[in-house]
Structure formats: C-alpha cells, structure tokens
Amino acid sequence: MPDSLTGRRRSVLHETRCQTCSLSSLCLPLALEVEDMDQFDAIIRRRSPLKKGETLFRQDSPFTSVYAVRSGSLKQVTTEGSGDDQLTNFYLPSELVGLDGIDEEQYPGTVVALETTTVCEIPFDRLDQLSESLPELRGQLYRSMSKELRDDRRMMRLLSRKTADQRLASFFTSLSDRFRRRGYSPYSFRLSMSRADIGNYLGLAVETVSRILGRFQSQGLVEVSGREVHILDLESLIQVAEEEGAK
Amino acid sequence: MQYHDHDGSHYLTYPDAARLATGDGPAALTRALAERTPGAPLALHVRLPFCRQACRFCASQRVPSRDSRQAEPYLTRLDREMVLVSRLLGRLPAVQRLHWGGGAPAFLSLDQMGDLFDRLDARFGLSGARGRDFSIEIDPREADVFTLRHLQALGFNRLSLGVQELDLRVQKAINRIQPRVLTESLVDEAERLGFHSLNLDLIVGLPLQTPRGFGETLDQVIAMTPARITLRRYAHLPERNRPQREILAEDLPDATTRLAILEAARERLDDAGYVHIGLGQFARPDDSLTLALREGRLARDLQGYTHYPPGDQLGLGVAAISRVGDTLTRNALSLADYEAALDASRLPAGAGHRLDAAERLHRDAIEALACRRELDLAELSQAHGLEASAVLADALDRLAPFCRAGMLQRHGERLRLTPDGVWGLTHLLAAFDPARSPVS
C-alpha cells in the first residue's frame, strides 16, 4: 500500500502543469497566453496531497505563499482570544487560499484539509514580481481579491440579518453556484464538511442545522443522504435564501 | 392611602385559578372541551417548570434541575397529557397561539425543544402562518444567540426575557447573577431574527433594591429599546414560597421605598415614551398592545395583556391553568401528583371550577376595568341578564374609597379609571375578590 500511495503522489506531482490543469480557466493563469503560462507555471511549487485533517498552515504563521486548490477542499478556522474556534471559510477547487495574509504578513487562520486535497503553492514574492510583467496575471489577482471581499460582505449580511432557514438555504445555493462555475453539476454534490462545521460556519447549533435539513427534505427542496446532496428545487431554495426577515 | 400587601394577582382568571383547590378537574375539563364550538380556535400554554438555579424571589411551582436529561420523564408525561386532551377535542383549526413558560423553557436542550414542538404539532397541528403568535419566556442565563436562532427556526416569533434587576447587589441577594451583556446580546439577536414585541421583565420590591439602583437598571433597559417592559411587584410570602425563605426580611425595601421606586419608574418610562397599558405592563406607542388599547380591543389571556381575542386556552404541564368557556381548571401543583395522574392515564387537572352567573359577571367587570379602563353597570346588567349593581354590591362598596382617592370616577352607571387608577389597578381589582380586603 505505501508503495502505491507514494507512486500515486509522484504521478500527481508530475502531471500537474497549469497548461494541462482542468482548472486553468478558473484559476490565476486564466487570462494568460500559453507562453506566459509557462512562466507562471515555473514559480509554482507542487506539494504532495494533504490528507483529511492535515494542516496546510497554522494561524499566525508567517505569510509566504498563496495556494490554489486543485482538488478536494479545505476549511479556515480562526481561534478567537476566548479560545473559541470559528470556522471562517471553505475553499473549493480553483479558489485561492491565503490572500488574507498579505497585509499583516501572517495567516489569520489555520487551514485544514476536509478530505484528500491537492494544492499548488504560489510563493507570493515571485507572484508579485511576475505580475509586474504580466498585467493579465495582476488583473486576475485583483479579481480574486475583489471576489473574496464581495463574498465576505455577503457572509456578513448573512450572519447579521438572516434566519437559520435563510442561512442554510443560502449556503446550499452558494455551494451550488460554486460547483456550477467549476463545470460540475449544480444539483448534485458531496459535502466534505460535517454538519458541525456547517453550523459553526453559519453561526447555528448543529441541532438547528439538522432540523432545517430535515425540513428542507420534507419540503422537497433538497435530498440529503450522508454527505451527498441533491438539490431538487433550486428556485425555491434561492427564494428562501433571499427572503428578508422572519416569517 | 395604605394598601395591604398582596401577592399581586392580576386576576388573569376569575376566580384566581392559581388558588383553585377543589372540584373534579378532569370532569370539568372533559365537559368544557366537549361543549366547545367545533372549529373554535384554541391557544396552547405549555408549562416547563425546570430551572438550573433557584432564584430567591420565585413564587412559581418549579423543579430545580441540573441537567436537561432530567426533563426527559416530564416531556414523556407532557406528551401523554397531549394525547389524552387531544382525544377530547373535536375539529381544531391550526393553532395560532402557543406559549412556553413556567420555569425556564430554554433549560431544555435544543433537540428536546425540537421534539416538544414536533409533538405539539403532531397532536394539535401548529400554524405556520405569518400571523401566528408563538411566544416563549427566556431566562437569559439559559440562552445564547444559537438558542434564539433555533427557536426562530422552530417557529417562535415573540420573546419575553427575564431581566428582573441589573443592580449587582440585588442580583446577589436574589441569587441570580445576570450581567447586562447577556440580555443585550439576546435583545440584539432577537431583533435581527425578526422576533416582534420583545418584552423585558423587571421586578420591583426585591431585597436591597433602591430607587437609584432601580433607576439605573431602568435606564439601561430603556436603552435596549424593547417593545414592551413589564414591572412586576415582588410579594414576600416565605411561608408559601420556599425559595423566598432565603431572603432576609430586613433587606426588603419598606413601603415608602417601594413607592418611591415605582413612582420614579413610572416617570422614567413615561419620559422614554412608554405607554402604561395597565398592571405594570408598558409598551412603546407603536406596539400592538398600545394600538389595541387605543382602539378598545385590548384583552387579557393567561399570560397577561394581548391584542388577540383571548378565546379558549389549554394549559399543559404541572400547575398549568386552562380556561375553556366558563370553566377553569388547574393541573396538579406537585410534579409527583402530575406524573401519577398521567401514569394512570388520567387528566392531571387537580382542580376545576365552572363559573356561575354571578362569577361570570364579576369576571367581565374585572376585564372591563383592566382592558377598557371603565365599567358600565348598565351594559353588564344587560349582557348578563342580572342587576350588576346588586351582584357587585360588595365590590362597589370596596371600590368607594378608591373613588374618594381619585382613582375611579363614577358617573351614574359608569365607573372610569383615572390615570392614578390605571396605576393602582392591582388594588382595585382585588375589590372584586371576596377573599381579599385590600383597603385598611
């Protein structure tokens, strides 16, 4: 077993090149010409896959790189002064991890793999240099940051004004949208996060998450078995997510 | 004018159901439920008597408990009670009004609350309509923002938070340490979640309470801008209420201090724009209670003032009160009696009473004064086919001193409360109770 695992890892490492990567149309090199992509590819450090539960980096460790998720998923956990862990983000393939560390030169949260996950490490000083000569790359970097800002604002609105039903509906519709943009089915996907993680992220007790999942199922909005999610009525789910205030 | 202290009964039922002691409760409730108009609405009141800590001012039937698992046998009994009662009910429209109170309902775990809600839904059918009124009493020490989000997800849309007093000295004397921030965070979250008519409960007359300390409490409470504020009066009856024996009599504010506290409170609430609805209930001018008062449709149910038509109310749980038609029943006061009745598949009503014609007239007179602030003897006579002034002769005698004190004005057949009378309504209502003599 160890042999074959090492072998598989090695082959993953070898195969990984931006030009052949299926996510290149979503990832940082999105706007790059083929020849520029090689330059970008050259600065990337391929890493061996993270196992489920393995840490990519810890909170407060020095910021060196951003990471593009190739496969799998991760969560960001921020430990508050009181010692409470708050789940502050989920990362899916093609999304960039670590952009929030640029400013203070340290990572504001610990990032942990939710399943077997591969990432491409992009040393930030190299990325910074390269983006000076490749405006398309710089543009894409700005867009990624802007998107993260926008998502954070949306999350703030969600956490400050929405009811539990609206929060969970919004969580599903946003996941569905993220999968759709990556060319996956927006209706059927696998949740790599536990219900406790989802509750923590949405500011809900796990009992509340379970109850609303049950309700969504009985209303025919979603079907959940284990971690497999089938969205049966996306339109109604969007409606619930966008409702204002309580009923 | 001097008043004897009394337990502050607001005669939410007449006769006072909390003091009902006799009568075949199960038979009375069975008959009353059978006589209900089919399809008439029924409000549900669930009594959950558990508390983690004993507050020394407590006058409720409560069950001190450490762990929410201890509530499990009680929840099983509650379900049995629901089954027994629901068999006696005819066709029932979806329940629009539900209240959880008693001790601290949030003592239950989130899953227990969910289960109880589901059982109520299965037995009675709960409404999901926007106009429903599902309220719950919350002890802020038992709840956090997650609890409120869960309650909102269950379907609750109205909250009452027990603040009592924010003065730390008083909090220590009543064994209820509750920092202001606990209440504040819940008030904020309740607003975000769209709970309406948020009520904050305060108590006047607690040990070590001072006009200044309570004034500061009130300022902080007003700053949280709740839609409603309730001032309850503490009645020190240690021989009846065991927890109160822990309170030192010499720590209690004297009558003058209590009056000063109340007068200062009245002024502060008035300045802040709160309208005194009656019996210590205050509400903002835009609250549904204030509107109902103005439009003459204010009513009372077993929890106090409401803008809903009161209708029949079914109480579930130990010491719960039911009011169905002209029948009042009260469930067994002790947990042991309550459980024993249900284990024998009997309704746990320990006492029951069907009002006679004179009592119905008394009841309506009390409601008229409490809700419409006036009493029209001619109207009462006509509605009841009785001579109201004769039936109420004793009560009218006892009200005479209040007329002299300027709390009540009599114009022929009509008696009308003055603003002072609204303020002292508790004492006036006691005049209708033959068991009380309120004036010395």
Report helix, strand or coil for B77: helix
Highest mean pLDDT among B127-131, B163-167, B340-344: B340-344
- Residue intervals of chain B classified under CATH 1.10.10.920 are 357-440
Q: What are the Cα distances from residue B401, in Å, to A108, A243, B234?
A: 72, 57, 25
What is the pLDDT averaged over residues B357-380?
Answer: 95
A160 touches chain B (CB under 8 A): yes
**Closest-CA residue of chain A to B147:** A205
Name the pTM for this structure: 0.90
**What does the pLDDT look like over B247-274, one tens digit per residue?**
888 999 999 999 899 989 999 999 999 9
Q: Report the topology of domain A162-242.
A: Arc Repressor Mutant, subunit A (1.10.10)
pLDDT at A176 over 70: yes
A211–B114: do the CB atoms touch at under 8 Å?
yes
For residues A141 and A127, give the distance between their C-alpha atoms in angstroms, rounded to a whole number: 9
B110–A207: do the CB atoms touch at under 8 Å?
yes
Total CB pairs under 8 A between chain A and B: 47
User: Residue B422 carries which side chain, given as an amino acid letter?
Assistant: V
Q: Give the start-to-end residue ranges of the domains of chain A.
A: 2-145, 162-242
* Band of residue B7 on the pLDDT scale cut at 50, 70, 90: very low
Query: Which two structure tokens, joined as six digits, stand for B412?
Result: 């022929």
**Closest-CA residue of chain A to B109:** A207
B152–A204: do the CB atoms touch at under 8 Å?
no
- Element (H or E) spanning B293, and its range? helix B288-294
* Band of residue B328 on the pLDDT scale cut at 50, 70, 90: very high
B194–A211: do the CB atoms touch at under 8 Å?
no
A245–B154: do the CB atoms touch at under 8 Å?
no
**Closest-CA residue of chain A to B117:** A211
Report the pLDDT value the prediction gives residue B3, as an integer from 0 to 100. 39
Chain A residues whose CB is inside 8 A of the B110 CB are 205, 207-208
A203 touches chain B (CB under 8 A): yes
For residues B14 and B395, give the distance between their C-alpha atoms in angstroms, rounded to a whole number: 14
Report the pLDDT value the prediction gives residue A55, as an integer from 0 to 100. 97
Q: In what order do the strands lie in the sheet with B408-411?
A: B374-376, B414-417, B408-411
Q: Distance from A85 to chain B by nearest Cα, in Å?
A: 15
- Percent of chain A exceeding pLDDT 90 equals 60
Classify residue A39 as left (phi > 0), alpha (psi -120 to 50) or beta. alpha
Point out the least confidently predicted range of A179-193, A220-234, B12-26.
B12-26
Q: Specify whether the CB–CB gap between B68 and B125 falls below 8 A.
A: no
**What does the pLDDT look like over A69-113, one tens digit per residue?**
999 999 999 998 777 889 999 999 989 999 999 999 999 999 999
A211 touches chain B (CB under 8 A): yes
Report the pLDDT value the prediction gives residue B439, as an integer from 0 to 100. 38
Q: Specify whether the CB–CB gap between B277 and B283 falls below 8 A.
A: yes
- Percent of chain B exceeding pLDDT 90 equals 73
A208 touches chain B (CB under 8 A): yes
A211–B195: do the CB atoms touch at under 8 Å?
no
Higher pLDDT, A82 or B291: B291
Q: Specify whether the CB–CB gap between A230 and A187 falls below 8 A.
A: yes
B149 touches chain A (CB under 8 A): yes
* Band of residue A245 on the pLDDT scale cut at 50, 70, 90: low
Phi and psi, residue B160, nearest 5°? -125, 125
Point out the least confidently predicted range of B59-63, B182-186, B199-203.
B59-63
Higher pLDDT, B126 or B309: B126
pLDDT at B15 over 60: yes
How would CATH label the architecture of B22-314?
A: Alpha-Beta Horseshoe (3.80)
Report the pLDDT value the prediction gives residue B193, as an integer from 0 to 100. 92
pLDDT at A239 over 50: yes
For residue B243, whether the previous peptide bond is cis, meaning omega lies within 30 degrees of 0, is no
Report the pLDDT value the prediction gives residue B241, as an integer from 0 to 100. 84
Higher pLDDT, A32 or A13: A32
* Band of residue A3 on the pLDDT scale cut at 50, 70, 90: very low
Q: Report the topology of domain A2-145.
A: Jelly Rolls (2.60.120)
What is the pLDDT averaged over residues A18-33?
Answer: 78
Report the pLDDT value the prediction gives residue B440, as an integer from 0 to 100. 32
Q: Distance from A212 to chain B by nearest Cα, in Å?
A: 7
Q: Distance from B269 to chain A by nearest Cα, in Å?
A: 29
Q: Distance from A246 to chain B by nearest Cα, in Å?
A: 5
pLDDT at B436 over 90: no
B149–A165: do the CB atoms touch at under 8 Å?
no
pLDDT at A20 over 90: no
Q: What is the DSSP string of B130-181?
A: TT-EEEEEE-GGG--HHHHHHHHHHT--EEEEEEE---HHHHHHTT----HH
B109 touches chain A (CB under 8 A): yes
Report the pLDDT value the prediction gives residue A247, as an integer from 0 to 100. 59
Instruction: Please identify among residues 179-208 of chain B the ones whose CB lies closer than 8 Å to any CB of chain A.
Output: 192-195
Highest mean pLDDT among A39-48, A159-168, B217-226: B217-226
B145 touches chain A (CB under 8 A): yes
A246–B145: do the CB atoms touch at under 8 Å?
no
pLDDT at A8 over 50: no
User: Residue A225 carries which side chain, given as an amino acid letter?
Assistant: S
* Band of residue A136 on the pLDDT scale cut at 50, 70, 90: confident
Report the pLDDT value the prediction gives residue A31, as an integer from 0 to 100. 73
Chain B residues whose CB is inside 8 A of the A247 CB are 128, 130, 157
The beta-strand segments (E) located in B175-311 are: 196-204, 228-233, 275-278, 281-283, 299-301, 304-306
B146, B147, B152 ranked by CB distance to A246: nearest: B152
DSSP type of residue A49: P
Query: Which two structure tokens, joined as six digits, stand for B200?
Result: 């904050």
A163–B193: do the CB atoms touch at under 8 Å?
yes
Instruction: Please identify among residues 162-201 of chain A the ones whose CB lies closer than 8 Å to any CB of chain B.
Output: 163-165
pLDDT at B418 over 70: yes
The complex scores an ipTM of: 0.86
A205–B128: do the CB atoms touch at under 8 Å?
no
Query: Which residues are paired to A90 by β-bridges?
Result: A75
Query: Which residues are paired to B278 by β-bridges?
Result: B281
* Band of residue B75 on the pLDDT scale cut at 50, 70, 90: very high
* Band of residue B438 on the pLDDT scale cut at 50, 70, 90: very low
A205–B149: do the CB atoms touch at under 8 Å?
yes
Per-chain mean pLDDT for chain A:
88
Chain B residues whose CB is inside 8 A of the A243 CB are none
Report the pLDDT value the prediction gives residue B67, as an integer from 0 to 100. 81
B130–A208: do the CB atoms touch at under 8 Å?
no
- Residue intervals of chain B classified under CATH 3.80.30.20 are 22-314
Alpha helices by DSSP H, chain A:
2-15, 34-43, 124-133, 135-161, 164-181, 195-202, 206-218, 234-242
CATH class of B357-440: mainly alpha
